[in-house]
Amino acid sequence: MQRFHALVLGALAMAAIEAQAQAPAPDLAAGKARAEQICAACHGANGVSVGPAIPNLAGQKAAYLAAQLRDFRSGARKNAIMNPIAAQIGPADAANIAAFYASLQGAARAADTSPMFPSLAMTKVKLPADYKRDFVHYTTVNYPERPQVRHLYANRTAVDAAKTTGMLPNGSVLIIEVYVPKLDANRKPVAGSDGNLVPDTLSFVTVMEKQPGWGADVPEILRNGDWLYGAYNPDRSMRAANQAECLACHKPLAADDYLFSLKPLREFAQKR
Low-confidence ranges of the chain (pLDDT < 70): 1-23, 108-121
- pLDDT tens digits, one per residue of 183-230: 999 999 999 999 999 999 999 999 999 999 999 988 888 899 999 999
Express as a percent the part of the chain with pLDDT over 70.
Answer: 86
Q: What is the pLDDT of residue 74?
A: 94
Q: What is the pLDDT of residue 140?
A: 98
Which residues fall within 8 angstroms of residue 86, CB to CB, at 6 or more apart? 69, 70, 72, 73, 94
Q: What is the pLDDT of residue 81?
A: 85
Q: What is the pLDDT of residue 28?
A: 94
CA angle 172, 245, 53 (to 5 degrees): 145
- Against a cut of 0.85, is the pTM above it? no
Q: What is the pLDDT of residue 112?
A: 62
Q: Are strands 227-232 and 199-210 parallel, antiparallel or unpaired?
A: antiparallel
Q: What is the pLDDT of residue 19?
A: 47
Q: What is the pLDDT of residue 51?
A: 74
Q: What is the pLDDT of residue 252?
A: 87
- pLDDT tens digits, one per residue of 162-183: 998 889 999 999 999 999 999 9
Class of domain 131-271: alpha beta
Fold of 2-116: Cytochrome Bc1 Complex; Chain D, domain 2 (1.10.760)
Q: Domain ranges for the chain, please list them.
A: 2-116, 131-271
Q: Which strand (E) or helix (H) includes residue 178? A: strand 173-181
Q: How many CB atoms lie within 10 A of CB 92?
A: 14
What is the spatial distance between Cα 243 and Cα 36, in angstroms, rounded to a whole number? 16
Q: Which strand (E) or helix (H) includes residue 208? A: strand 199-210
